[in-house]
């Protein structure tokens, strides 16, 4: 793992990797959304970290109250420059799609709180389109009992559930398959705001590294893959990614 001291050198080194990459894949976790006002999960003051210590949950805005931040927008800039080939995300907050990431360029590995899906044909629907009212129909988790009044899939009349992957739920097959495909194609993977503690999603960066890709990790806290990374940066994502994009633009 390369140790880089000054912020300017950090930006320059990562920007050079981005500019020279042929197949850039970005992997994001809850840490990229903390600058929007959402709590993370496995950080020092994260939701699960505090729960495990018997502490109350950290302060956090609701998903409906937040907007994409500079980190999200910088990833969109990489998309618009044609450098981002694919985005893997553990987040369910909808901020990547809200920021302008093209739906065909993202795999939301743990689902999206805005979307419901058919358990049979896997068609996705917004809650509005399917007429899902949480106060009436419940959360729609797979493990909850199906209620007769819940909307059915217009395509196949299958059961509708939330796309969010709850504890003990199977991972979404389509997203896992396409994530593996892009992981094996990439020559550079940048991890942003993930503790890399939640499997199996967190296995993709290691798979990329073992397949010969460069690995950059941007996360305030340590991760299990820090010693595998080519570059590990203990910085906030928003400002740093913005600087990377600005530096890459100068390289064209």
3 state DSSP class of 3? coil
Residue 72 annotated to the active site: no
Torsion angle in degrees (nearest 10) through CA of 235, 81, 65, 191: -40
Crossing angle of helices 173-185 and 203-210, in 10° steps, is 30
Taking CA atoms, 99 is separated from 77, 88, 212, 216, in Å, by: 10, 15, 30, 23
| Concatenated DSSP letters of 62-111 | -GGG----HHHHHHHHHHHTT-EEEEEE---S-HHHHHT--GGGEEETT-
- Cβ-in-10-Å burial (0-12, 13-18, 19+) of 148 comes to exposed
Beta strands at 188-192 and 214-218: parallel, antiparallel or unpaired: parallel
Please name the residue that has the structure tokens 């493990």.
Answer: 143
Active-site residue identified among 96, 110, 137, 146: 110
Nearest-angstrom CA–CA distance, 72 and 176: 22
- Kindly list the catalytic residues: 110
């Amino acid at each position: 793992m390369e140790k880089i001291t000054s912020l300017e050198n950090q930006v320059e080194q990562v920007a050079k990797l981005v500019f020279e990459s042929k197949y850039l894949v970005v992997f994001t976790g809850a840490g990229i959304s903390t600058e929007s006002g959402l709590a993370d999960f496995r950080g020092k003051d994260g939701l699960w970290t505090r729960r495990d210590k018997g502490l109350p949950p950290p302060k956090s805005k609701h998903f409906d109250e937040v907007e994409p931040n500079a980190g999200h927008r910088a990833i969109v800039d990489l998309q618009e420059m044609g450098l981002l080939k694919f985005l893997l995300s553990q987040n369910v907050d909808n901020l990547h799609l809200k920021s302008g990431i093209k739906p065909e360029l993202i795999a939301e590995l743990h689902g999206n709180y805005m979307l419901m899906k058919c358990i049979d044909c896997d068609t996705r629907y917004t809650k509005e389109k399917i007429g899902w009212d949480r106060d009436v129909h419940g959360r729609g988790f797979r493990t909850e009992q199906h209620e007769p009044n819940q909307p059915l899939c217009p395509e196949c009349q299958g059961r509708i559930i939330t796309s969010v992957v709850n504890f003990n739920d199977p991972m979404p097959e389509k997203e896992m398959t396409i994530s593996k495909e892009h992981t094996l194609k990439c020559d550079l993977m940048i991890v942003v705001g993930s503790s890399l503690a939640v499997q199996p999603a967190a296995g993709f960066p290691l798979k990329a590294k073992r397949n010969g890709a460069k690995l950059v990790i941007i996360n305030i806290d340590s991760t299990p893959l820090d010693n595998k990374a080519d570059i590990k940066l203990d910085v906030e994502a928003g400002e740093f990614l913005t600087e990377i994009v600005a530096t890459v633009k100068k390289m064209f």
